Amino acid sequence: MLLGIESSCDDTAAAVLEGETVRSSVVSSQADLHEAYGGVVPELASRNHQRLIVPVVQKALSEAGAEPDDLDAVAVTVGPGLPGSLLVGLSFGKAFARSLDVPLVGVNHLEGHLYSVDIEAPRPPRPYLCLIVSGGHTELVLVEEDFQHTVLGRTRDDAAGEAFDKVAQLFGLGYPGGPEIDERAQRGDPSFHDFPRSRLDGFDFSFSGLKTSVLYHLRDFSDAEREQLFADHRDDLCASFQAAVVDVLVDAVRRAADETGAAHVAVVGGVAANRELRTRVETAGSEDGFAVHVPDFRYCMDNAAMIATAGRLRLDAGFTAPPTVDIDSGLGLSGEG
């Protein structure tokens, strides 16, 4: 039985994993706290992690019907993320593991997303192609055995989720913006406006140009005209913007799957909860002949079940963290375990 802890950004999360079965998964979101600022305020996030980490872990253990002494290991996110937020989770994880005299496993947050498709069956065999799409990361990764990761492409500027949040602000929507754009896009016309699709050499991404295009498009209207545009066509604008993002992501996935010969493709991270993206990747898989793996909605957003799952895989492979393990806010994916 393994406890997972996640605190890389603004969600305090804990989960209990028994074998391959999630016994509990608790996430305490700070979205309401940061909404007034239009984004995550690092100092506020870390302070609230300090306040929430103990009750969240207690709730995860209680829902799992477990006691601390039942745990065989503790897995905790060590990076990437906000330094103060990471430090709260790692400090607690270190102390808790030491008090129980059980191994501590340090987990890369990006690996947590990569292996979130292993939380529930059907699990993809290695190798598989994985698209990580979240607020802070957009990467195409070939995932092989023994924690071998080949990054085929990554964003050169804004991540897809970051673009959703920034454009949502331009559209006068709340934070986080991705879910509301997704909801409104279901009622809108994606052909209302043709926003640009940036396609770079290889499999790299760029969304800053798209964000700027939205900004310039809205600047062409007076304040009164813009308000009328939003009143009449806000859903259409959301659908048009979302279509531009999804087109770029799906195009890269199809080209990468073709080049690598991947028979299995995973889409993970917060933006993997986007319904249009899920539908379009499923369609691409049917047309191109690859199987698609997307986590349940609750495991797309930051959560500790994915950290526990990645931690279990690392523990099974013989990897544990030394007492001196520290956070690394800029941690990237490596090719070695």
pLDDT greater than 60 at residue 317: yes
Task: Supply the pLDDT for residue 135.
Answer: 84
Q: Which of 169, 140, 175, 171 is nearest to 268 (CA)?
A: 140
At 13 the three-state DSSP class reads strand
**199 and 207 in contact (C-beta within 8 Å)?**
no
Average pLDDT along the chain: 95
pLDDT greater than 60 at residue 335: no
Task: Supply the pLDDT for residue 40.
Answer: 84
Task: Supply the pLDDT for residue 337.
Answer: 40
Compute the half-sphere exposure of residue 38: CA atoms within 13 Å on the CB side of its CA. 11
125 preceded by a cis bond (ω within 30 of 0)? no
What structural domains and CATH numbers belong to the chain? 2-115+298-316 (3.30.420.40), 124-294 (3.30.420.40)
d(CA 279, CA 277) in angstroms, rounded, equals: 5
pLDDT greater than 90 at residue 111: yes
pLDDT greater than 70 at residue 145: yes
pLDDT tens digits, 251-305: 999 999 999 999 999 999 999 999 999 999 999 999 999 999 999 999 999 999 9
**22 and 298 in contact (C-beta within 8 Å)?**
no
Q: Which of 241, 225, 232 is nearest to 169 (CA)?
A: 241
* The pairing of beta strand 128-133 with beta strand 264-268: parallel
- Banded pLDDT at 176 (limits 50, 70, 90): confident
pLDDT greater than 70 at residue 114: yes
Q: For 61-86, what is the mean pLDDT?
A: 98
- Banded pLDDT at 12 (limits 50, 70, 90): very high
Report the percent of the chain where pLDDT is more than 90: 90
Helix (H) / strand (E) element for 162: namely helix 160-170
pLDDT greater than 60 at residue 141: yes
Q: For 138-153, what is the mean pLDDT?
A: 96
pLDDT greater than 80 at residue 113: yes
